[in-house]
Amino acid sequence: MSQEYKFVPVKPTREMLEAMIAPLGYNANGDPEPALFEERYASALAAAPIPSVESGGGVDFGFDDRSVRVSQEAYSIFIAREEGAKAQITRLTAENARLQDLAIRRKNDQTEMCTEIVDLTNNYNALQAELTKARELLQMALPRVKNPVLESAIKQHIAHQSVPAANFIACNADESCGQNAPAAKG
């Protein structure tokens, strides 16, 4: 134990009281001398009994083949903190499991969306191919059309169909979803 502190009984022992009652010394002004009071206090502390481990009702406590006897209060504090830590570990373990489950569900959702994007891209490409065939047929038929109104309508239709389609989203084998197809491939 530290030289600055000492455990003392709540109720002073007879020996402690006797050490405190010793005659006071006074200075030239007739006031009690503080140094003498400090000596009395030191005498009282010296007279205080040293609590034994057996009388303290302590608890053997330790780790890895090292053990010490600690007070019941200190042991209770440790147990309460340990139970709090266990509760925190249980909570964090449950949160970790929840987040892992969420990550798996998000990954599955992403895979489903990528599959759907691939299907939509294939459908888009098939429709583009059909549109190209229709445009080629119209262009082949245009020279044979003698009606100026019909010829103008076909030209407008071909011009409209020639406008580039909006960028579409592709999902590649490396799962680079959400990027324009040329950028994802490059």
DSSP at 49: P
- Same-domain check for residues 168 and 113: yes
**Dist. CA 77–CA 63, nearest whole Å:** 17
Work out the pLDDT band at 32, boundaries 50, 70, 90.
low
> Within a domain: residue 11?
yes
Work out the pLDDT band at 181, boundaries 50, 70, 90.
very low
Which residue matches tokens 């608890």? 59
> Within a domain: residue 58?
no
- Same-domain check for residues 91 and 179: yes
Please name the amino acid found at residue 67.
Answer: S
- Same-domain check for residues 94 and 20: no
> Within a domain: residue 39?
yes
**Total number of domains constituting the chain:** 2
- Same-domain check for residues 34 and 92: no
- Same-domain check for residues 21 and 104: no
CB 1 within 8 A of CB 68: no
Q: What is the pLDDT of residue 140?
A: 87
Per the rule left: phi > 0, alpha: psi between -120 and 50, beta: everything else, 84 is alpha
Q: Is 8 helix (H, G, I), strand (E, B) or coil?
A: coil
> Within a domain: residue 177?
yes
Which residue matches tokens 């009702």? 57
Q: Is 5 helix (H, G, I), strand (E, B) or coil?
A: coil
Structure tokens at 52: 């034994």
CB 78 within 8 A of CB 61: yes
> Within a domain: residue 104?
yes
What's the pTM value of the predicted model, to 2 decimals?
0.40
State which residues form the domain around 16. 1-50
Say which residue, 135 or 177, is predicted with more confidence: 135
- Same-domain check for residues 105 and 159: yes
Provide mean pLDDT across the span 6-33. 69
- Same-domain check for residues 151 and 104: yes
